A and B are shown apart, each in its own frame.
Chain A
Amino acid sequence: MKILGIETSCDETAVAIYDGDPATGRGELLAEQVASQIETHARFGGVVPEVASREHLVALPAMVTSILAETELSWNQIDHIAVTSGPGLMGALLVGTSYARAAGLVHNIPVAPVHHMEGHLLAPGLAGLLPEFPFITLLVSGGHTQLVRVDRIGSYRVIGQTLDDAAGECFDKSARLMGLPYPGGPEIAMLAKGGDAKRFKLPRPMLNKDNLDFSFSGLKTAVMYAVKNAGGIDAFDQQMMKDMAAAIEASVSEVLVKKSIRACIREDAPRLVIAGGVAANHTLRHTLFNLAEKKGVEVHLPHPKHCTDNAAMIAYAGFQHLCAGISAPDEWDATPRWPLTA
């Protein structure tokens, strides 16, 4: 069963073709393409929804043609289309969903709407099999920081989430305070490699609270004061920049990892998936493996390229829906705000 995945929820236009066997629930990714708009949006210091939508419209049709050529497949060999229908930027989502609906109509191919975050939380399955149910997923990206309990495909329960900024947002805002360009997460990660995380003391927000929620806005404020107390960013030499970046990474990573492990223990689900753009962070992965091993928690991480937005995870989520007998609703539309558990 060949599934064309389409993703246009934010600033990456992505297409992929996944070939799965419903009898085994396994398959392989035949091809994928991602066109990033990061350079376009960098000059604005963040994603501009209208610009993103225009770029998707230019990129998507040619990318679909290109991936069919790359896999030497024709439309009549595509069995399903899975398209991100939310959450995301409305205009951007409409490009993908309108294209998918029309292509499905012309080629008589069923189209399934997929929740973007469900794509992320199932992404480890692209490398083989999904973890045994139930498992816990930490969804951590520029817009989300959530702990989700997964009991089966389609059955998700949010057991913890950020009360203010997402972890990725904290990286971006801290990077801006340090005078680094957008997007801040990769810039901080690059700088942190040669940094001493102990030089600047930053808080571990909500780590001592007996719950599974997060809060990162205070950390950003702490970064602002730490920079100010050290004489302002203009007084920072290269080593201080690296040390500050390492301190930010260490703080965010420790909170994310400790709360995720706590969630696994509390929910009696000792299998942890970390997904979303921030999951590609090296320090986070390293911290996670160290603590998880000590606590007896199995860790499942998607390939770094499947941590950021991509269409392979959308095609795979569509495939898993079919395997689980979940059919697309009769009526669906692009949904910019769509809770995972609704």
Chain B
Amino acid sequence: MKSDLHILALDTAFGEISACMHTADGAFLTAATPEQGKTRSTAIVPLLAELLQQAGLTWNQLDLLALGAGPGAFTGLRIAAATLAGINSGLNLPMLHLSSLAITARQCDSSEAIWVLEDARAGEAFVGCYQNGSPRCADQCLTWHEVMAMQAGLFVCHNDVPVALDGWSRLPLTVSRSQALLTATLAELDALASISQLPRYPAPVYLQRSQAEKNLHG
């Protein structure tokens, strides 16, 4: 059973810090809410240390790291990725990369096909479609105009959508992101033949080019 592992999972793709631990005996622990006034970059490391302490583990006892790898807010992605890279310095653990949109989809309690429409700014959206945790298509970055032209359906998101989506129905996020992060991690693990082939370094999925790249390539 790959769930017999000590796992540390982290995602900061959409603002908040979501961190959780799954221990080999099946315990599930979530990080506390960060201290008010602290930035994510200063709050994240103490939260992870506290989480490990709660689990009664040392860093060397971890078996796997899981990263909400994007797409999402660039700053959030790099804080989580650089933090996990630092944690993995010397530990050399396999690192499971999870779609941040798949995590969002798991925050919604529905068996229907759900669109995840997260605002990517600059008139664009990160778009994914999931049903019972499985992708119906690849995550992509589309303009909001392209989204408006799609066939309407059920959708979830974290922030307000900047356009009017006629015929679409927004569903509430009823599951905590940490819980969704853990569920996504365990589901991905079950689908893997082995964790030994997983990468050791983080590789965020941005999907969206910087403005300078757009200007250059049109």
Residues of A in contact with B (beta carbons under 8 Å apart): 43-44, 48-51, 53-54, 57-58, 60-62, 64-65, 74-75, 90-91, 94-107, 331-334
Nearest CB in chain A: distance from B82 CB, A: 4
Contact call A107/B89, Cβ cutoff below 8 A = yes
A90 / chain B contacts, CB cutoff of 8 Å? 75
Chain A, residue nearest B204 (CB) = A57
Interface SS of chain B: helix, strand, loop or mixed? helix
> Is B168's beta carbon under 8 Å from chain A?
no
Task: Please list 9 pairs of residues, one from A and one from B, whose beta carbons are closer than 8 Å in the complex, sorted by A's number.
Answer: A57-B78, A57-B82, A62-B201, A97-B41, A98-B41, A98-B44, A102-B83, A102-B85, A107-B90
Contact call A75/B87, Cβ cutoff below 8 A = no
> Is B72's beta carbon under 8 Å from chain A?
no
B201 / chain A contacts, CB cutoff of 8 Å? 58, 61-62
B88 / chain A contacts, CB cutoff of 8 Å? 61
Between B39, B79, B91, B203, the greatest number of chain A beta carbons within 10 A of the residue's beta carbon is seen for B79
Residues of B in contact with A (beta carbons under 8 Å apart): 39, 41-42, 44-45, 48-49, 59, 74-75, 78-79, 81-91, 201-204, 206, 210-213, 216
The complex places the Cα of A101 from the Cα of B47 at a distance, in Å, of 12
The complex places the Cα of A100 from the Cα of B87 at a distance, in Å, of 9
Chain B, residue nearest A52 (CB) = B210
Given contacts A57-B202, A333-B39, A333-B42, contact A99 B216 (CB under 8 A): no
Given contacts A98-B41, A107-B90, contact A91 B74 (CB under 8 A): yes
The complex places the Cα of A60 from the Cα of B84 at a distance, in Å, of 12
The complex places the Cα of A43 from the Cα of B217 at a distance, in Å, of 11
The complex places the Cα of A75 from the Cα of B202 at a distance, in Å, of 20
The complex places the Cα of A331 from the Cα of B42 at a distance, in Å, of 8
Nearest CB in chain A: distance from B109 CB, A: 33
Contact call A99/B86, Cβ cutoff below 8 A = yes
Given contacts A61-B201, A94-B75, A107-B90, contact A43 B41 (CB under 8 A): no
A51 / chain B contacts, CB cutoff of 8 Å? 210, 212-213
A-B residue pairs, 7 tightest by C-beta: A102-B86, A50-B210, A98-B82, A103-B86, A48-B212, A99-B86, A61-B85
A43 / chain B contacts, CB cutoff of 8 Å? 216
B202 / chain A contacts, CB cutoff of 8 Å? 57, 61
Between B44, B203, B212, the greatest number of chain A beta carbons within 10 A of the residue's beta carbon is seen for B212
User: Apart from A90-B75, A333-B41, what 7 extra A-B contacts exist at CB < 8 Å?
Assistant: A50-B212, A60-B82, A91-B78, A94-B41, A95-B82, A102-B82, A102-B84
Contact call B210/A101, Cβ cutoff below 8 A = no
Nearest CB in chain A: distance from B8 CB, A: 11
Chain A, residue nearest B86 (CB) = A102
